[in-house]
Amino acid sequence: MSFLRLQGVEKYFGPVHAIKGVELSIEKGEFVVFVGPSGCGKSTLLRMIAGLTEIDAGRLMLDGRDITQLPSSKRDLAMVFQSYALYPHMSVYDNMSFALRLAHVDPGVVRQKVERAAEILNLTAYLKRTPRELSGGQRQRVAIGRAIVRAPKVFLFDEPLSNLDAALRGQTRVEIAKLHRDLGATTIYVTHDQVEAMTLADRVVVLRDGAIEQVGSPLALYDRPANRFVAQFIGTPQMNLIDTAALPAIASLVGAAESTEGCVGVRPEHVIVRPPGEGRLAGRVELVESLGSNTLIYAQVGDPAQGVQIVASQSTRCALHPGDAIGLDIAPHSFHLFDRQGQTLAPAA
């Protein structure tokens, strides 16, 4: 039996159908990431699980118990918010222990749990400080610690790293991954950041317009997207989607039927850059992004007025400049085919 199960969960905001019959099963100890564009319903779905937003239809089961109508305080869940939500006048210790003290837990047990959480999160030296004396990353760790001391059945994270700078985001992401491994807790994590989704998740749930597009491991979604939306959303830089009508030669290049109507999808790392005159496609460099460890080459292929842009990613540096002529090939067995409705016609060969 699934540890946490959403059965036909629905949400309306007036006439707007925000969550559309979501069915999802999450196993005990699993790290699941909800990802999707702004407005897709990922935070709303998380708040419905937390009990902060009412479920209009369907059921929510946790460890064999129906918690659909229970208030948030009775669901045995703990949520970490984007905004930290710390009490500014309280010390770190008091912030982390507040929920336990409110529940009249024995002071000795409270101290033991707070000190253990502080040790896990490297906050022991800061227990007497107030939030204004901490960095953004330390404040977020305090918010996580406040959830840990409650020992909930499920941790809920609502874009917890979005307020941090790039360096702190990377560091805190690693800490969250280690924390999940050490605690073995069931975790649901909401983000719009693909790097977080790909590096943290056991499974990724891709949402669009209140419905699930695909569920799977990060690499399964990357290698075998169910449709054009997932293919474009998962992966940085995005998959190249080439309309066969705009560039008919692409169909024969990948070995698809000439009559294929739709798009050919190719990951940038599978686009091979050749010297001019070589390769089965001729292109001209529009932009070169040198990122140190890899290089992105944006090329225009076909009619200059109605051409197609193709992005190539390579792990070596290059001496190309905008305006240079190049040849392009597609690595064998690396493409995806999508019909006009955006559905996958065939998996990558």
pLDDT in tens, 313-348: 999 888 999 999 999 999 888 889 998 888 988 644
Q: How many domains does the chain have?
A: 2
Q: Where are the alpha helices (DSSP H) in the chain?
A: 42-50, 92-102, 107-120, 136-148, 166-183, 194-200, 218-223, 228-233, 249-253
Q: How many CA atoms lie within 13 A of 114 on its CB side?
A: 25
Same domain, 298 and 150: no
pLDDT in tens, 189-233: 999 888 899 999 999 999 999 999 999 999 999 999 999 999 999
| 171 in Cβ contact with 137 (< 8 Å) | yes
Same domain, 22 and 171: yes
The Cα–Cα gap between 190 and 193 comes to 9
Joined together, the tokens standing for residue 277 give 């005159």
pLDDT in tens, 68-120: 999 998 899 999 888 878 899 999 999 999 989 988 899 999 999 999 889 88
Handedness of CA 70, 72, 77, 81 (dihedral sign): positive
Which residue, 178, 194, 228, sits at the end of a domain?
A: 228
Same domain, 292 and 340: yes
Same domain, 211 and 272: no
Which residue, 203, 228, 253, sits at the end of a domain?
A: 228
| Residue 188 CB-density burial (10 A; 0-12 exposed, 13-18 middle, 19+ buried) | buried
- The bridge status of strand 186-191 relative to strand 31-35 is parallel
Same domain, 193 and 313: no
pTM of the model: 0.87
Same domain, 319 and 285: yes
Same domain, 242 and 213: no
Which residue, 206, 228, 250, sits at the end of a domain?
A: 228
DSSP-based three-state secondary structure for 239: coil
Same domain, 186 and 332: no
Q: Give me the domain span that covers residue 250.
A: 237-346
Same domain, 215 and 320: no
Joined together, the tokens standing for residue 192 give 């719009």
